[in-house]
Structure 1
């Protein structure tokens, strides 16, 4: 697996999953496994486009569940070919939705996999509709635990803060 932090990745084709992926929890693992499976069917590399620090940590000071090294290792274990680790900072926030689309076009996605609430670009100006204007996009439904509750990094953080680590660990799925 190759990690790209400061250079732009260029590929003749790819399947890409975009998200914060903080914790690389069971929900994320499902999305990433689907992305890897699709990339193999399409015979192109798989790419995870992610951020460090995660946007919630940057904006709200939320606890980070996995540092960048841990996240990279977990993604490697899931069979990802490339990781774009975008530095989420003030300079990144100034990028427009068009800037993000131009960067994605460099990897020629055959499919882009994101969550249903995905937004991008300065002031979150880009959305699923604008992304679909350029690429084939699949928005994934939330992944739920056996109790039917949505698995999310926010929920895992809350459980940890409440001292309920034993309830958080199965949601992570890798500890």
Structure 2
């Protein structure tokens, strides 16, 4: 049964496998990463956690079109078998958090491993990065997921296709 928590609820777990990201669109690339997280958590006998943001950082900073509402994302995470979803309210106060504050929040989830994109940044002025996370946790960088044509699957690409009116090409990328 999926449990949803706000980041400020201070959820504590005995052990977990976490993936962190905006997951806007919950496209095929996201689905692969989330399935791997769920699979690893089942093998390890721990909880799977998706840590995400509402709104997605790109929407907050660049006014990018949001592909999926937080409610839709939660439904898709549930279908993928996730145990917990932590939703961080991405607002002005969140952008001012120190990297250490974010790390301390993750420590409460006791991650055996964390999956993030290779370019993942966090904390005020994007001061935190994958190397900083690796000082505290086992981090598994997520490698680019490509479609059959070899092009990277990304929310940005899907947004661009939608703006171009090419909905037909977005459907295989989204996979829903």
Give the TM-score normalised by structure 2. Answer: 0.98
SS at the partner of 1:113?
strand
| Alpha-carbon displacement from aligned partner over 1:50-100 (angstroms, at most 9, x marks no partner) | 000000000001000000100000000000000001000001011100000
Q: Where in structure 1 do 4 or more consecutive aligned residues deviate above 3 Å?
A: none
> What is residue 5 of structure 2 aligned with on the other side?
4
Partner of 2:60: 58
Indicate the residue corresponding to 1:151 in structure 2.
153
How many Å separate the matches in 2 of 1:28 and 1:47?
13
- Mapping of 1:85-164 within 5 angstroms? 85-164=87-166
Q: In structure 1, which of residues 17, 22, 25 is the aligned counterpart of residue 27 of structure 2? A: 25
1:84-132 per-position Cα deviation (integer Å, ceiling 9, x unaligned):
0100000101110000000000010001001110011111111111100
The one of 59, 76, 84 equivalent to 2:78 is: 76
Q: What does the per-residue CA deviation read over 1:9-46, in whole Å, with 9 as the maximum and x for residues that have no partner? A: 10010000000000000000000000001111110000
- Alignment gaps of 5+ in structure 1: none
Query: Shift of residue 147 of structure 1?
Result: 0.3
SS in 2 for 1:95: coil
Cα deviation code 1:125-170 (max 9, x no counterpart): 1111110000000001110000000000000000000000000111
C-alpha distance in structure 2 between counterparts of 1:39 and 1:45, whole Å? 6
Partner of 1:131, secondary structure, is helix
Match of 1:4, SS?
strand
Aligned mates of 1:56, 1:149 — CA distance in 2: 21
Partner of 1:168: 170
| Corresponding residue for residue 46 of structure 2 | 44
